A and B are shown apart, each in its own frame.
Chain A
Amino acid sequence: GAVVSQHPSRVICKSGTSVKIECRSLDFQATTMFWYRQFPKQSLMLMATSNEGSKATYEQGVEKDKFLINHASLTLSTLTVTSAHPEDSSFYICSAAGGRGLKTTEAFFGQGTRLTVV
């Protein structure tokens, strides 16, 4: 099946710094990537949808200036948490969909990134 790689898997950063998370589709071209956030023992909440070469569409309540999303190529999307604070600590997961090179347009998930802001 299609592989989506997310990096890093864990990151600890100091309050006030910025952290970049990468999401790569390794064996297919992802025209669309999604970023989700998962709070402890809760479900996944969609943060934003990004399409290659265009601005991301953010869900209501998600600060676009705080969570910067870039989808510069068909295989890479990045999420940058700017000026991170402890309340941003969470599990962030990306998924990629697109269909090019795939038999279906199913979305495939990365392994997730555990962000801890201290």
Chain B
Amino acid sequence: DGGITQSPKYLFRKEGQNVTLSCEQNLNHDAMYWYRQDPGQGLRLIYYSQIVNDFQKGDIAEGYSVSREKKESFPLTVTSAQKNPTAFYLCASTGVSSTDTQYFGPGTRLTVL
């Protein structure tokens, strides 16, 4: 089955720790995105990547880092510099033939203890 997987589903972090959220897709999509969603809030773009080895900051990139070494993978690291990281993190992707339609993974819920 084609789709987007995110792991883990739930993640707990102590203050001062870096954590990495995984996002993998087998849809052969070239563009991938990371969003953050807070309770009652819309989606805010953290980073996006349109091709391998290239990525751009979104609206709230501070305290986050990404890499895009493979087309299928776009991991997000939440660093200790992110002061309020507790949120629902969503990964999405879109392909050239998808005309901007973004498809989402199931999400990772990060909680800082």
Do A and B belong to a common assembly?
no
Residues of B whose CB lies within 8 Å of any CB of A are none
A interface residues, Cβ below 8 angstroms from B? none
